[in-house]
Structure 1
Amino acid sequence: MKILITGASGFVGSQLVKLLSPQHRLTLLTRSPGSAAAKLGAAHRYLADLDNLANLDSFDAVINLAGEPIAGKRWSSVQKEAICQSRWQITNKISALIKASQNPPSTFVSASAVGFYGRQGEQHINEDFNLSQESKSEFTHKVCSQWEKAALNAVSDSTRVCIVRIGLVLGAHGGALAKMLPAFKLGLGGPIANGKQGMSWIHQTDLIRLIEFMLNNKQCSGIYNGCAPAPVSNKVFTHAMGTALKRPTCIPAPAFGLRLALGEMSTLLIDGQYVVPQKALADGFEFSYATIDDAFSEIFKS
């Protein structure tokens, strides 16, 4: 297939490129084509933007992973706008180009996040969960809701759209673990707040396999939770990580300190959700790393 991928040089995107490149012809949208080519290889076509494209007739599929890191900076009003627009604008543009195509891509896979669900306590949530008005008022829901609507605008008889609400992506060389590892390796890790908040996670390999599964299976469409089938509490997650690293995890991070240090962004750590991938399992996807112990055993095996 001829596939357009946005966010290709990111933590997830770069691994997806490696998985897909042996069998497919890839065009990669990235803000820095030169550095991306040095990282991902010169065999691919690189674009700095979509402005010179009138349609997407030349592509069989699109995978949209672009977006400003949601935990990269404190959530000032300027940063919130950057988080939103970096997702909404590119997704609206892709949908518009698909709709302008005479022979549009047959598949559009677009990222979202479990933040769509907002704070949900300890109940387990699948794709059919009905949100309260309180949940819909949260910033993470607003970001994801508009992001998903923009992608779903591309749905037609010719184009199926899959939305992946991605959880915490676990891998040894990037993502959230890269920020957590230094403290844990020094024995300074510990539960956050009361440790009861849900952590909906997925091993990096399973996420890119799930995206490939959606590309290859025409029955896939609509909303999918991109999480492993066994979400855990922050306390369980912390203990499992400490066990895998053979380090103690007894230094807690109090909620008030995180709120002072991070402001509104602290909700990403203090609050959470227990999200399950009901639809992926129903469609026949099999997770290679279904438990947190399995995931950490593979990640820290060396």
Structure 2
Amino acid sequence: MTEHDLTTLVRDHVASDEPPFALSPDTVVRGGRRTVRHRRLAAGGAALAVLAVGAITVPQVLDGDTARGHSTAVDPATAAFLEDYDAAQMPRILEEESRAVFERSVEDLGEATFHAGDNQGAALPPKWWDRASGMTLSYGGTSDHRLSVDLAHARSEAEGSAQRYCEESLEGGFYLECAVDVRDDGSVVISNLWALRPYGGATFMAVERDQLATIDPDRLWFERRVKVIKSETFVTYVSETVKASSEQAARAAFQVPQADLAELGTDPQVVIPAPEPDPASGCPGFVLPGTVTCGTFDEPDAEGGDGGPAGDTGPMSPGVEPSPAG
């Protein structure tokens, strides 16, 4: 559990109507985790603030060791790519790599949308792409079938036990499916299926399994997503999102094999270097000048970095909580 998650749990408990200490520690933690999940389980649209990194994922409520066999060292192929990294080439590279995979099963991908974001998810102009904390390439725009590749440096998205990540998400009803695969190179691949519903403008909120029957079928979406942990701070998300009235209808609508999602997520070229801390703003990564002040910081977290303002925007916001629905 990250420091941000712990702070949220304590704040929510203190602000509750329950008398002090009326709940056991386990009950408080379970309730807090549910609150954090609801706030952060949102998926963004194309400019995906997937980068505001807080909205595209199930919150990290895991402590302890990482998945067995998980290495925090970058594999040789990825390290070789980073040695000659050129941010200006990333839109082309991401499109070439993603089309090579997606076009095996999707007849017409249409145009791709690229987004490079600062530590808070704000879109960066090309001159600052080399300082991005995350990048997104998506297909489908506002259609009922969307594909997305999201790259982000966020330590709390990469830490913790992957197996417990799945177990707790399944137990809480946030995921309909979840599986973990540790590759020979040490990277961890987490595959999941979850239900979503529109939340605000271009974002989505996760729908728990036991709430599916209460949601208007016309407002239901489903996403099959692969999360790849490549280092102690870097994660890649590859997702296919469809509008469907039921889980069964969604399974029939999915076009990209899960193995292909994992192949793209583990591609050594689908990566960006870790951003340097930003002395001007005090943020763990660069932010657009004059937009945000993070104050002091230690380690970046999944919500925009060390308690930075763009963190708790509700479940993933235009990208926060990377659930690439766009």
TM-score, reference length from structure 1: 0.26
Highest RCO, 1 vs 2 (Cα 8 Å, sep ≥ 6): 2
More helix by share: 1
TM-score, reference length from structure 2: 0.25
